[in-house]
């Protein structure tokens, strides 16, 4: 049996070591990005005073207008920031999931049945559990569903556009749609054309049927899931060129403000949605590395937040309704027009909901761990 030369063995070992380091670096980058995005999601949920749907809602901004109470400067500012974040942070989540999925596809990890089973357990079971045992009770307590029949409350599961849990429904279907597309169509250009057509259909649906979009509008997000890995590869080439990063960021923010002053027709809506999402995703990938270099000084904290990112997503948003209803009950609607109260509400909504959701996740994880230990014993 021929022996492998020592030099060749050494090169092979070095290559494996480099691949391992690259894989670890990529996993860390995804952790950084997950942390960045979940912080942006919590921040974007700090801005609304009104949520108006056919299935219930809150109306603090409407009450302010009815009582002649002007909005505060700090709340107007956070609304603008939130609107900018909404232009890309959810497409970026889909892109991140797509990056992880591409790596798994290369390893032939999935069959259609195993994918559906795994993602149902990972996404749909938490959706139902959180919806019925967290989202609905808190919204009932805060008055969101005041006077709404329970049949309509259940109908919101099908049309969840204004409920934060839409993401879980949509992501589950995106996994399935993109997997089938990849397996049936082997030409990358044709895949892209089909997913762009789906995206256009999803945007048209968003434009005309905002409150009645089924299952979180997965057609709108398949393209970002599919393009996630390609966007990551492009940003890898430019992330060290800070002038390029700054140019993209400035152009993206500038374009956002331009679109705020342009009459919104369907073509404008499509162009705005695609352009802002594309540039925002690229910025998220690049900034994740920048933030990662700072956060690497606190690796345990970063790892813990990354591990609890799903919990923060699941449990933070409904707490906003409790905070708003409590402020309204204690201080009255006039307090929403006072600068320092408005600022305090934003701080409480950001830090309070984030920290509470984090520790709720820790509590549930500890219970699961104890039950698992008892089961093994």
> What is the arithmetic mean of pLDDT over 107-134?
94
pLDDT of residue 74: 97
Q: And the tokens for 6?
A: 């020592």
Spatial contact of 143 and 58, defined as CB atoms under 8 Å apart: yes
> What is the arithmetic mean of pLDDT over 34-46?
93
Map tokens 């920048």 to a residue. 290
The least confident of 71-80, 105-114, 320-329 is 105-114
pTM as predicted: 0.91
Confidence class for position 350, pLDDT limits 50, 70, 90 = very high
Confidence class for position 42, pLDDT limits 50, 70, 90 = very high
Per-residue model confidence as pLDDT tens digits over 197-224: 999 999 999 999 888 999 999 999 999 9
Q: Which residues of 162-184 are buried (b: 16+ CB within 10 A; e: fewer)?
A: bbbbbbbbbbbbbbbbbbebbee
Map tokens 């709404």 to a residue. 148
Asked if the model's pLDDT at residue 72 lies above 90, the reply is yes
In DSSP terms, 56 is beta-bridged to: 53
pLDDT of residue 160: 92
pLDDT of residue 162: 86
Higher pLDDT, 369 or 9: 369
Asked if the model's pLDDT at residue 299 lies above 90, the reply is no
Asked if the model's pLDDT at residue 14 lies above 80, the reply is no
Asked if the model's pLDDT at residue 301 lies above 90, the reply is no
pLDDT above 90 as % of the chain: 71
Q: And the tokens for 100?
A: 């992880």
H-assigned helices in the chain: 6-44, 60-66, 73-86, 89-106, 112-119, 125-130, 136-142, 150-155, 166-184, 188-208, 222-238, 242-260, 266-295, 299-307, 309-316, 319-331, 339-347, 353-376
Q: Which of 37, 55, 58 is nearest to 47 (CA)?
A: 58
As a whole number of angstroms, the distance between CA 87 and CA 260 comes to 12
Higher pLDDT, 292 or 360: 360
As a whole number of angstroms, the distance between CA 60 and CA 90 comes to 26
Map tokens 């649906």 to a residue. 205
Map tokens 């970002």 to a residue. 224
Spatial contact of 282 and 231, defined as CB atoms under 8 Å apart: yes
Spatial contact of 152 and 54, defined as CB atoms under 8 Å apart: yes
* 230 to 60, 64, 220: CA distances (angstroms): 42, 46, 18
As a whole number of angstroms, the distance between CA 74 and CA 71 comes to 9
The overall average pLDDT reported for the chain is 90
> What is the arithmetic mean of pLDDT over 77-100?
95
Q: What are the two backbone dihedrals, phi and then psi, of residue 57, each rounded to the nearest 5 degrees?
A: 165, -175
Q: What are the two backbone dihedrals, phi and then psi, of residue 59, each rounded to the nearest 5 degrees?
A: -140, 40
Per-residue model confidence as pLDDT tens digits over 146-196: 999 999 999 999 999 889 999 999 999 999 999 999 999 999 999 999 999
Higher pLDDT, 235 or 18: 235
As a whole number of angstroms, the distance between CA 145 and CA 337 comes to 25
As a whole number of angstroms, the distance between CA 78 and CA 76 comes to 6
Question: In sequence order, which residues have a C-beta less than 8 Å from that of residue 20 and are 6 or more positions away?
Answer: none
Spatial contact of 252 and 276, defined as CB atoms under 8 Å apart: yes
pLDDT of residue 8: 61
pLDDT of residue 27: 72
Confidence class for position 20, pLDDT limits 50, 70, 90 = low
Q: 3-class DSSP state for residue 308?
A: coil
Asked if the model's pLDDT at residue 321 lies above 90, the reply is yes
Provide the 10 A C-beta neighbour count for residue 55: 20
Higher pLDDT, 377 or 246: 246
Map tokens 């090169």 to a residue. 11
Q: Which of 350, 352, 351, 337 is nearest to 76 (CA)?
A: 337
How far from chain centre, in Å, is Cα 48?
Answer: 17
Residues in the chain, overall count: 377
Asked if the model's pLDDT at residue 227 lies above 90, the reply is yes
Per-residue model confidence as pLDDT tens digits over 255-285: 999 999 999 999 999 999 999 999 999 988 8
Asked if the model's pLDDT at residue 100 lies above 80, the reply is yes
Asked if the model's pLDDT at residue 2 lies above 80, the reply is no
> What is the arithmetic mean of pLDDT over 114-125?
96
């Amino acid at each position: 049996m021929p022996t492998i030369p020592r030099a060749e063995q050494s090169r092979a070992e070095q290559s494996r070591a480099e691949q391992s380091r690259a894989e670890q670096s990529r996993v860390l980058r995804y952790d950084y990005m997950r942390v960045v995005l979940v912080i942006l999601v919590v921040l974007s949920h700090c801005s609304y005073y009104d949520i108006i749907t056919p299935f219930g809602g809150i109306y603090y901004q409407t009450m302010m207008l009815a009582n002649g109470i002007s909005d505060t400067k700090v709340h107007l500012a956070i609304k603008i920031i939130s609107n900018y974040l909404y232009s890309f942070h959810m497409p970026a989540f889909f892109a991140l999931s797509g990056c992880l999925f591409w790596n798994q596809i290369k390893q032939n990890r999935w069959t259609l049945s195993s994918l559906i089973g795994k993602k149902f357990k990972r996404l749909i079971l938490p959706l139902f559990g959180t919806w019925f045992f967290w989202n609905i009770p808190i919204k009932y307590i805060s008055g969101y569903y005041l006077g709404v029949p329970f049949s309509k409350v259940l109908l919101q599961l099908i049309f969840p556009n204004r409920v934060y849990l839409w993401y879980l429904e949509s992501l589950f279907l995106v996994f399935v749609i993109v997997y089938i597309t990849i397996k049936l169509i082997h030409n990358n250009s044709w895949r892209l054309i089909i997913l762009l057509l789906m995206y256009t259909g999803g945007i048209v649906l968003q434009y005309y049927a905002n409150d009645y979009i089924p299952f979180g509008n997965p057609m709108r997000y398949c393209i970002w899931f599919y393009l996630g890995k390609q966007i990551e590869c492009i940003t890898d080439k430019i992330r060290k060129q800070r002038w390029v990063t700054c140019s993209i960021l400035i152009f993206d923010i500038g374009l956002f403000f331009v679109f705020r002053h342009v009459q919104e027709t369907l073509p404008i809506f499509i162009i705005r949605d695609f352009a802002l999402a594309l540039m925002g995703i690229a910025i998220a990938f690049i900034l994740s590395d920048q933030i990662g270099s700072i956060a690497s000084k606190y690796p345990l904290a970063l790892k813990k937040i990354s591990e609890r990112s799903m919990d923060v997503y699941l449990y933070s948003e409904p707490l906003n309704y409790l905070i708003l209803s409590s402020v309204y009950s204690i201080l009255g609607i006039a307090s929403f027009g006072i600068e320092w109260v408005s600022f305090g509400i934003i701080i409480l909504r950001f830090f309070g909901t984030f920290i509470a959701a984090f520790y709720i996740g820790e509590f549930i994880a500890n219970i699961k761990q104890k039950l698992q230990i008892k089961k093994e014993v």
